[in-house]
Amino acid sequence: MKYLPLNSEIFAQNRKRFVEKMEKNAIAIFNSNDELPTNADQLYKFKQNSDMIWLTGIEQEDTMLILYPDNPDPKYREVLVLVRPNELKEKWDGHRLRTYEATAISGITTIIWLDTLEGSLQPWIHWADTIYLNTNENDRKANWVPVRDYRYAELMKQRFPLHNYKRSAKILKDLRGIKTALEIEVMQKAIDITDNTFRHLLQYIKSGVMEYEIEAEIYHQFLKQRATGPAYGSIIASGDRARTLHYVENNLECKDGELILMDFGAEYGNYCADLTRTIPVNGKFGRRQKTVYNACLHLHHYAASILKPGISIIDYTEKVGEEATQQFLKIGLLRKSDVKNEDPENRAYRKYLYHGISHHLGIDVHDLGTRTEPIKAGMVFTIEPGIYIEEEQMGVRIENNFWITKNGNKDLMKNIPITVEDIEALMKK
């Protein structure tokens, strides 16, 4: 790993929170992700299961976690299962964790090897009444590949058909949405790296630069600061390409007079930052560009003023939509007749703002958390309104990350330049 060691108390706290939600005399089993093939004898870069990261901090493949708080033997109430280090594999693929290293990362003292698990797991299962198994229940999940969690669940139900089975994901959805102060410290590090990188880009970008050159500069700056890399595929969209929400080609020239929308964030310690800024390629906003940008910034500030405990994302999005309608009337995108005759299911403002305003953020860039229940203190959200104007070949989006507090929220990106004046001043330097 490139990042410095994290505080193992992060993961100890998370396990404690999970165990407190388990039924009496229940065992919970978690698996790492699969190693997936690309072509020939190649594998995709391994990415650990996010729930395994949240509970242990362990990034290594072929890892399992077993939580059995009512195990008659206290030594085995939390067990980390690792693949045994193999000399040949280490010659090819590098170092594998030793027990003392895994304990330092996770805070778990009982470590057993995967090839010895079967003899211990069977009696633990027999003693338990309920088995918690894990699946991916992120609302944004879009594929049904039979990954290890699902195969393991099917195997367990075949072997132990009379047990009571429960979904770990139902607990994790609530718990992972609420970030501890220790988790916020790691997220702030990812944000600070992103901040430094953005300030560097303000000095780097000029007319004629290629989008992919900016992407390469982002990656370079991230790695220099011990980030694992980008938290997601960076969007570097100049000119009319900024209207494509997930533009990833990043292969064209940034021209004088255009705006460039950059949506990127660092990953540090497996936690994500998610920043969007829209800046002028030549360092100076045009009059109309400034008008649209400031309208978007107004929506950003308005959204921040109402994103607090008690409101649901549905109601919050509706309120931001009302404010967007007023802003779009003000800057000439909508007429009063457009609003009067709008379809309630496809409101007039949606022509120029066609995505959500916020999403949960954490270990995943679209992290676990409710989208229907009231927002709670401890959650982390993006705020990212946008204005996309086809007839003007212009797209603007502004995004910061906010930690919800008891009475409001804290802008974790408050130090990152956001106003027209600050951006122009830094680009002029």
**Three-class SS of residue 25?**
coil
Alpha-carbon span 161 to 154, nearest angstrom: 10
Q: Which CATH number fits domain 9-177: 3.40.50.800, 3.40.50.300, 3.40.50.1000, 3.40.350.10?
A: 3.40.350.10
Alpha-carbon span 327 to 2, nearest angstrom: 44
Q: Write down the domain spans for the chain.
A: 9-177, 181-428
Each of the 429 residues of the chain gets a pLDDT tens digit; together they read 899 999 999 999 999 999 999 999 999 999 999 999 999 989 999 999 999 999 999 999 999 999 999 999 999 999 999 999 999 989 998 999 999 999 999 999 999 999 999 999 999 999 999 999 999 988 888 788 889 999 999 999 999 999 999 999 999 999 999 999 999 999 999 999 999 999 999 999 999 999 999 999 999 999 999 999 999 999 999 999 999 999 999 999 999 999 999 999 999 999 999 999 999 999 999 999 999 999 999 999 999 999 999 999 999 999 999 999 999 999 999 999 999 999 999 999 999 999 999 999 999 999 999 888 999 999 999 999 999 999 999 999 999 999 999 999 999 999 999 999 999 999 998
E-only strand ranges, 134-204? 164-167
Alpha-carbon span 59 to 101, nearest angstrom: 12
Alpha-carbon span 177 to 297, nearest angstrom: 26
Alpha-carbon span 201 to 322, nearest angstrom: 34
Look at the domain 181-428 and name its fold.
Answer: Creatine Amidinohydrolase (3.90.230)
Label each residue of 332-387 as H, E or C: CCCCHHHHHCCECCECHHHHCCCCCCCCECCCCCCCCCCCCCCCCCCCEEEECCEE
